[in-house]
Structure 1
Amino acid sequence: MTATTHTLPRQSLAHEPGLPVMPSLGVVAPPVPGRRRLSSQALLGNEREVEIEHSGQIYRLRLTSLGKLILTK
């Protein structure tokens, strides 16, 4: 049995009413039902970097000058 993946072209999503759009990043997809979604603003607040502890390890989530997120160990 083979898995089938369906994707929608970005341009068709850009015209859908109600979808949030961030000009620098393109279209933001709607949340997947049952999956929790957090905004980067909720994680970072007014900071550009936060530490996340996972299984006894410390990770850094950093916002770059270009608005990208980088997660490092």
Structure 2
Amino acid sequence: MIRSLPLAANAACSSPDGPLVVPVAAKRAGAPCPRLASASILGGGNEIEIDHHGAIYRLRITSLGKLILTK
């Protein structure tokens, strides 16, 4: 399953608590970066594909519970 999350500055992201918006000004001011639960990103599964500028990356949970991002 491929899910698309808009992660650009000033973009709304899906989260269980509603949209998450990261304004450009907050990033410049040194504000902490947004935190998302891995379960919300992975949608309850163990693996997703991420399209980043036309390149496909795979984010998966290993058998030891660690996250691995591969191209």
TM-score when scaled to structure 1? 0.52
Q: Which structure has the higher relative contact order (CA within 8 Å, separation 6+)?
A: 2
| 1: CA distance, partners of 2:32 / 2:59 | 24
Structure 1 runs (4+) deviating above 6 angstroms are none
Of all paired residues, the percent bearing the same amino acid is: 60
CA-based RMSD of the aligned residues comes to: 1.6
How many aligned positions are there? 42
Query: Where do 5+ consecutive residues of structure 2 fail to align?
Result: 1-29
Residue 72 of structure 1 is matched in structure 2 by 70
Q: Is the counterpart of residue 58 in structure 1 residue 45 in structure 2?
A: no
Larger radius of gyration: 1
